[in-house]
Amino acid sequence: MKTLALFCAALLTSAVAHAETLNTAAPLGVELGKTTCARMPSGPNRTKTGTSPWAGGDTIEIRNLERFKLPGLTKATVNCDQHDTVALVTLNFDRSAMDDVVRQLDARYESKRKTDANAENGYAEWAAANGGIEMLYARDGKALVVAYWAKGAKAKYFSYSATRDKQPPAAVTPQGQL
């Protein structure tokens, strides 16, 4: 009986660890929010292409895409923040790979929302334990982009509704009410 309880505990621990691994985003083996750009040596397969103006760290393009065995992958870019931590991994795919990409993302991550198939521009979003994933494409476009954001990075660098220089509008009281 004691052996059975230990086996069940080990099995449960293994299942939880496996579930967490499935929900952790590490595109191209680069874990979001943990891997540093310094660990990605430059060379013929990884080329520093500049500094990310929005995050303040290195921007690295990965050149040898065949080794990742992702059909339709045409470009891979890694953006690090000012602390040298991976903030964003962007993968560009040929549009013909869309069904396969969506199927893989649906199998691995929790789907948050998807636009209607007939929308002018397509958008889909998934959640990961260490960030979020977005897919963007134009309905008649030849490519699609999958962006893997480290947890909190998109909100930190691209808060669309926030303004630094402007004050919020004054409250308006409707006429006739106190």
- The predicted-structure confidence for 45-64, as pLDDT tens digits, reads as follows 888 899 988 889 999 999 99
pTM score of the predicted model: 0.75
* Residue whose token pair is 């895409």: 65
The mean pLDDT value for 13-17 works out to: 36
Q: Which residue has the higher pLDDT, 10 or 158?
A: 158
Tokens encoding 2: 């004691």
State residue 171's pLDDT score: 42
State residue 22's pLDDT score: 64
Burial of 9 (0-12, 13-18, 19+ CB in 10 A): exposed
* Dist. CA 134–CA 148, nearest whole Å: 7
